[in-house]
């Protein structure tokens, strides 16, 4: 049973395209995180969301708490955006217990 589901699993896009990665979860959460894992394995935290929308550069993350759904958008995609994007949720009523999605592997072609 996966508490966090991501779609698509794999995504190939042409440079410049607008990209959307989706995350749905089935548990009560206090926060949702989007992470980026580089080909070498390193992980970078992109966003933490508990409501609404956040923007950082070309990245936009939204969350709908009622629908238990979040999206990560990348505008004007670039080959350097190629990475695995991981959605993770912090369970409600826990301090730091997280469930992770399996990740979306994004390849942006020049």
Partner 1 sequence: EPEVTQTPSHQVTQMGQEVILRCVPISNHLYFYWYRQILGQKVEFLVSFYNNEISEKSEIFDDQFSVERPDGSNFTLKIRSTKLEDSAMYFCASSDGGRTGFGFFGQGTRLTVV
- Rounded to a whole number of angstroms, the minimum distance from the CB of residue 107 to partner 1 is 17
CB of 16 to partner 1, least distance (A): 29
Q: Which of residues 77 and 106 has its CB atom nearest to partner 1 in the complex?
A: 106
Closest approach of partner 1 to the CB of residue 23, in Å: 12
Nearer to partner 1, 34 or 108 (CB): 34
Shortest distance (Å) from residue 8 CB to partner 1: 15
Closer residue to partner 1, CB minimum distance, 38 or 78: 38
Query: DSSP for 24-85?
Result: EE-S-EEEEEEEEE-TTS-EEEEEEESSEEEEETTEEEEEETTTTEEEEEESS--GGG-EEE
Q: What is the CA radius of gyration of the chain?
A: 13
Binding residues vs partner 1 (CB under 8 A): 31, 33, 35, 37, 40-45, 48, 86, 88, 90, 94-103
Instruction: For partner 1, give the closer residue by CB, 14 or 96.
Output: 96
Contact at 8 Å (CB) between 21 and 85? yes
Count of beta carbons in the 10 Å neighbourhood of residue 68: 17
């Amino acid at each position: 049973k996966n508490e966090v589901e991501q779609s698509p699993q794999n995504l190939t896009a042409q440079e410049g395209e607008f990209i959307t990665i989706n995350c749905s979860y089935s548990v009560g959460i206090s926060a949702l995180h989007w992470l980026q894992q580089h080909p070498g394995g390193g992980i970078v935290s992109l966003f933490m969301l508990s409501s609404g929308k956040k923007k950082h550069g070309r990245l936009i993350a939204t969350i709908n708490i009622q629908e238990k759904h979040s999206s990560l958008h990348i505008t004007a995609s670039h080959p350097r955006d190629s990475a695995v994007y991981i959605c993770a949720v912090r369970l409600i009523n826990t301090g730091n217990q997280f469930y992770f999605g399996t990740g979306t592997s994004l390849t942006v072609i020049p």
